[in-house]
Amino acid sequence: MNIQELETIKRLNLPIKFFILNNKGYGSIQATQKNYFDGFLVGSNEKSGMTLPNITRVAQAFGLKIATIDSQQDITKRIREILQAEGPLVCEVMISPNQTTAPEFLR
């Protein structure tokens, strides 16, 4: 996704729903660094010098509706509500920074 797509879906009022998984870093890069570099993290999370933009503020800047899922409580209901919402919407899904992501270390 690039930022210009947000303007296009807003202008055309396309009923596209974006679900952004936020683990407060780059999960697959962290997994690689943990598995192959003894856990030495560089540029993959806030502690190692990386920052991410606030996705809800970016979406709001384009006039898009936003939603956040920050727990598993009623998740099925929340996803249905988001998918049934009129027009475009950006949903930030908060997940644990420790969630295993690819590439997974194989021994």
Q: Tens digit of pLDDT for each residue in 60-76?
A: 999 999 999 999 999 99
Q: Convert the pLDDT of each residue in 73-86 to its tens digit.
A: 999 999 999 999 99
Under 8 Å between Cβ of 43 and 49 = yes
Residue 106 inside a domain? The answer is no
What is the per-residue pLDDT for 81? 97
Pick from 51, 31, 50: nearest CA to 42 = 50
The count of C-alpha atoms lying within 13 angstroms of the C-alpha of 26, restricted to the half-sphere facing its C-beta, is: 15
Q: Residue 40 sits in which domain range?
A: 3-94
Residue 12 inside a domain? The answer is yes
pTM of the predicted protein model: 0.78
Residue 107 inside a domain? The answer is no
Residue 105 has pLDDT above 60, yes or no: no
**Can you give 18-81 as a three-state secondary structure string?**
EEEEECCECHHHHHHHHHHCCCCCCCCEHHHCCCCCCHHHHHHHCCCEEEEECCCCCHHHHHHH
Residue 101 inside a domain? The answer is no
CATH number at residue 87: 3.40.50.970
Residue 103 inside a domain? The answer is no
Q: Which residue has the higher pLDDT, 87 or 48?
A: 87
Give dist(CA 14, CA 31) in Å, integer: 35
Q: Convert the pLDDT of each residue in 3-49 to its tens digit.
A: 899 999 999 999 999 999 888 777 677 777 777 887 777 777 778 77
Residue 87 inside a domain? The answer is yes
Number of domains in the chain: 1
